[in-house]
């Protein structure tokens, strides 16, 4: 759990605006989270995160003041790209990135809520499957869905996953889950704020 707690997301201000730079910095550490789930089977998600971040940062770095918050970034690109928006630029990359963040949020929330396979309580397949079905499945074609279905059966035991999150240290399960709950406070608020922003600006695209 040290892995996540060392790179907490910021608490949002009253207006729920997400500052771009701190957001990108926090997200940049998430690929190591997927190493704990399985560095090989989740390699495509890691690759997508790196690609999304690189492209969003490239836009942000051209004018940090203009793109101080994610909403300012989307508003500027909407004005800049006209009819092509939101199918272009950092907006498109953030759309895909937020879905991966949703996957992480649903998965971790499912863990701390105690959802499990009663016959195999040390498996996390139930939690990962729920996260995939809610956050990503609808955006994947049949072939990609089959790849992820196979990947879900290669996820580690819960005990091994929590140990990996704790950087190899032996930590009591409840202690680790309590830290995950604390991490989820700001993380969930951020994910929900990004989703609300996309909905409010009609910036989401629903295609595979």
Domain count, the chain: 1
Q: For each of the chain's 208 residues, which pLDDT tens digit applies?
A: 556 767 889 999 999 999 999 999 999 998 888 888 877 778 888 899 999 999 999 999 999 999 999 999 999 999 999 999 999 999 999 999 999 999 999 999 999 999 998 888 999 999 999 999 999 988 887 887 787 777 777 888 999 999 998 888 888 999 999 999 999 999 999 999 999 999 999 999 886 5
pTM of the model: 0.94
Q: Is residue 52 part of a domain?
A: yes
Q: What is the CATH number of the domain that holds 49?
A: 1.10.3520.10
Q: Which residue range forms the structural domain that includes residue 160?
A: 15-196
Q: Where are the beta strands (DSSP E) in the chain?
A: none
What is the distance between the alpha carbons of residues 28 and 154, in angstroms, rounded to a whole number?
A: 25
Question: Does 131 fall in a domain?
Answer: yes
Q: In this structure, is residue 158 part of a structural domain? A: yes
8 lies in some domain: no
Flag whether 7 is in a domain: no
Residue 67's Cα: distance from chain center in Å?
Answer: 21
Kindly state whether residue 6 falls inside one of the protein's structural domains: no
Kindly state whether residue 4 falls inside one of the protein's structural domains.
no
């Amino acid at each position: 759990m040290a892995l996540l707690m060392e790179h907490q997301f910021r608490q949002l201000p009253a207006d729920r605006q997400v500052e771009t730079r701190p957001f990108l910095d926090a997200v940049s550490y998430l690929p190591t989270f997927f190493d704990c789930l399985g560095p090989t089977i989740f390699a495509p998600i890691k690759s997508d995160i790196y690609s999304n971040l690189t492209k969003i940062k490239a836009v942000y770095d051209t004018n940090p003041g203009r793109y101080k918050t994610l909403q300012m970034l989307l508003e500027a690109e909407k004005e800049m790209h006209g009819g092509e928006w939101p199918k272009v630029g950092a907006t498109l990359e953030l759309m895909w990135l937020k879905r991966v963040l949703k996957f992480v949020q649903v998965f971790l929330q499912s863990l701390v809520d105690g959802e499990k396979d009663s016959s195999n309580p040390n498996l996390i397949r139930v939690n990962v499957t729920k996260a995939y079905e809610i956050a990503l499945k609808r955006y994947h074609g049949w072939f990609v869905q089959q790849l992820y279905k196979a990947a879900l059966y290669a996820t580690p035991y819960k005990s091994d996953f929590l140990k990996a999150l704790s950087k190899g240290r032996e930590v009591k399960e409840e202690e680790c889950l309590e830290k995950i709950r604390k991490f989820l406070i700001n993380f969930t608020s951020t994910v929900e704020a990004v989703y609300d922003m996309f909905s409010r600006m009609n910036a989401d695209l629903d295609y595979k």
